[in-house]
């Protein structure tokens, strides 16, 4: 896959937006442990950044996923990746299934405002005891006439304290675990902007991604219309697996910006003199930084290959899992080595490298842990029983 002039123009527009509307405020948002998603998303929506692949009928650009990938790569340059993650959830994690399988009525009610940045949305899959093992989740929606009544809880919800609605994966029948789940749009606030009846939200304090508000959300007999279901009943697991492909490529693309850490570290080491010469004159440091950059470019090639295949309509479960696995591990390596080479300065709290060290660590846990990615890849290789 080769980016066209249009891809580069989109990326440049997003980078300009980041420089003007996000980066000047990230230190403040990190300290507050939240960024003003409604304000940021409204501005992004006005520029079309939240609906790049979504149908034009609902306010999107109608472009293929390669443009969303380019946007994610640009968003990776935000100087606090909690903000980047929140944007990624809005654009490429909570809305793909709705855009692909939701009814026209549902898309007009929930997708169009999300694309416009008028609302904040979230995705609800993980639970306590059911994170990596999606098939074992317990949250349930029982049918009551024309409504579903939902009980249970969801964990690690990005945008959770601000979200207006959540795309919720839950059990809607007692059948096999891969065929008894549905995706349902659940409003988290009422028309007046107050917390919806039966909804409780508890903020979670994290090691990194501080500017992203993360929550556990409880559902106590929450009633929503059956028409809020995305697509067919019992197809939620399949829809979510497809949604994961975009999520994992989005997250991997954002990690390509870690090349900036290498560049900033090299600049610092040129100026930092030890034992009579710049630290960058040390051959080990030179070779390690060269190795890390090589790995980033290898990751780029893998991501682009997966994206090209996805745009062609191919199943990229294996490639997306490989990209996420490599991105998570490489992000950790880059941040760790750059911190090591910067020494005590790299260990200070307000240093960009130390923030990346905290933020990037999530890459091997969230959205499917490294071990899950390895399991998916091993299955695709025919090394494991598909039912295992």
The DSSP annotation for 122-160 comes to: EEE--BTTBSS-GGG---EEEEETTEEEEEEEEEEEETT
Q: What is the DSSP letter of 172?
A: -
Contacts of 97 (CB under 8 A, 6+ apart): 167, 183, 230, 231, 239, 240, 242, 243
Percent of the chain scoring above 90 in pLDDT: 92
Mean pLDDT on 122-139: 88
- pLDDT at residue 377, rounded to an integer: 97
Residue 203 confidence (pLDDT) above 90: yes
In order, the DSSP letters of 301-337 are HHHHHHHHHHHTT---HHHHHHHHHHHHHHHHHHHHH
Closest CA to 67 of 110, 11, 140, 135: 11
Distances in Å between the Cα of 243 and the Cα atoms of 319, 346, 376 are 14, 37, 15
Average pLDDT, the chain: 96
pLDDT digits (tens, 9 = 90+) for 278-307: 999 999 999 999 999 999 999 999 999 999
Considering the candidates 30, 73, 127, 247, report the single residue annotated as catalytic.
Answer: 247
Q: What is the DSSP letter of 361?
A: G
Spacing of C-alpha 319 from chain mean position: 17
No. of helices (H) and no. of strands (E), the chain:
14, 10
Tokens for 174?
Answer: 């007692």
Does 388 score more than 70 pLDDT?
no
Cβ(60)–Cβ(53) below 8 Å:
yes
Supply φ then ψ for residue 201, to 5 degrees: -120, 125
> CATH number of the domain at 122-233, out of 2.40.110.10, 2.40.50.150, 1.10.420.10, 3.30.70.380?
2.40.110.10
Q: Once rounded to an integer, what is the mean pLDDT over residues 54-66?
A: 98
Q: Kindly indicate the confidence band of residue 132, based on its pLDDT and cuts at 50, 70 and 90.
A: confident
- Judged against a pLDDT cut of 70, whether residue 10 lies above it is answered with yes
Share of the chain above pLDDT 70, in %: 99
Q: Are 359 and 82 in contact (CB under 8 A)?
A: yes
Q: How many CB atoms lie within 10 A of CB 292?
A: 20
Residue 12, SS3 per DSSP = helix
Contact between 189 and 116 under an 8 Å Cβ cutoff? The reply is no
Active site annotation includes 28: no
pLDDT of 74 > 80? The answer is yes
Q: What is the pLDDT of residues 250-288, one digit of tens each?
A: 999 999 999 999 999 999 999 999 999 999 999 999 999
pLDDT level of residue 386 (50, 70, 90 thresholds): confident
pLDDT exceeds cutoff 70 at 236: yes
Direct distance between the N- and C-terminal alpha carbons of the chain, in angstroms, rounded to an integer = 34
Measured distance CA(90)–CA(123) in Å, rounded: 9
Of 130-139, 215-224, 254-263, 295-304, the range with the lowest mean pLDDT is 130-139
Q: Global pTM?
A: 0.93
In the predicted structure, residue 208 carries a pLDDT above the cut 80: yes
Residue 387 has pLDDT above 80, yes or no: no
**Delimiting residues of CATH 1.10.540.10 domain(s) in the chain:** 5-120
Q: Are 183 and 230 in contact (CB under 8 A)?
A: yes
Two structure tokens written together for 312: 């062609």
DSSP string, 178-189: TTSEEEEEEESB
**Of the ranges 36-45, 106-115, 124-133, 226-235, which one carries the lowest mean pLDDT score?**
124-133
Four-way CATH pick for 238-380: 3.30.413.10, 3.90.230.10, 1.20.140.10, 2.60.40.10: 1.20.140.10
CA dihedral over 153, 155, 160, 161, signed as positive or negative: positive
Residues contacting 193, CB < 8 A, separation 6+: none
The CATH code for residues 5-120 is 1.10.540.10
CB 80 within 8 A of CB 30: yes
DSSP 228-297: GEESSTTBHHHHHHHHHHHHHHHHHHHGGGGHHHHHHHHHHHHH-EETTEEGGG-HHHHHHHHHHHHHHH
Q: Residues spanned by CATH 2.40.110.10 within the chain?
A: 122-233
């Amino acid at each position: 896959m080769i980016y066209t002039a249009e891809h580069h123009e989109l990326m440049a527009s997003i980078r300009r937006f980041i420089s003007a509307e996000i980066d000047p405020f990230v230190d403040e948002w990190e300290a507050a442990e939240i960024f003003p998603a409604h304000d940021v998303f409204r501005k992004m929506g006005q520029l079309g950044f939240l609906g790049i692949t979504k149908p034009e009928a609902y306010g999107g650009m109608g472009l293929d996923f390669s443009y969303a990938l380019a946007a994610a790569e640009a968003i990776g340059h935000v100087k606090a990746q909690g903000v980047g993650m929140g944007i990624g959830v809005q654009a490429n994690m909570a809305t793909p299934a709705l855009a692909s399988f939701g009814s026209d009525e549902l898309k007009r009610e929930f997708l169009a405002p999300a694309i416009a940045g008028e609302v904040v949305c979230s995705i609800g899959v993980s639970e306590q005891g059911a994170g990596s093992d999606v098939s074992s989740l317990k949250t349930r929606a029982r049918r009551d006439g024309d409504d579903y009544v939902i009980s249970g809880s969801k964990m690690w919800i990005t945008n959770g304290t601000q979200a207006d609605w959540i795309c919720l994966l839950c059990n809607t029948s007692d059948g096999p675990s891969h065929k008894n789940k549905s995706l349902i749009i659940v409003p988290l606030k009422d028309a007046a902007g107050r917390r919806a009846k039966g909804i409780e939200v508890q903020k979670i304090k994290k090691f990194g991604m501080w500017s992203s508000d993360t929550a556990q959300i409880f559902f106590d007999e929450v009633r929503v219309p059956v028409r809020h279901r995305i697509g067919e009943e019992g197809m939620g697991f399949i829809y979510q697996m497809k949604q994961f492909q975009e999520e994992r490529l989005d997250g991997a693309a954002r990690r390509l910006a870690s090349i900036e850490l290498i560049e900033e570290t090299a600049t610092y080491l040129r100026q930092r003199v030890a034992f009579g010469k710049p630290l960058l004159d040390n051959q080990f440091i030179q070779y390690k930084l060269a190795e890390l950059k090589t790995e980033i470019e290898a990751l780029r090639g893998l991501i682009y290959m997966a994206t090209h295949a996805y745009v062609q309509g191919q199943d990229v479960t294996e490639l997306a899992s490989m990209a996420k696995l490599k991105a998570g591990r490489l992000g950790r390596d880059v941040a760790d080595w750059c911190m090591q080479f910067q020494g005590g300065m790299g260990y200070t709290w307000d240093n960009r490298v130390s923030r990346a060290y905290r933020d990037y660590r999530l890459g091997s846990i969230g959205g499917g842990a490294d071990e899950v990615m390895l399991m998916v890849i091993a299955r695709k290789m025919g090394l494991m029983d598909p039912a295992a």
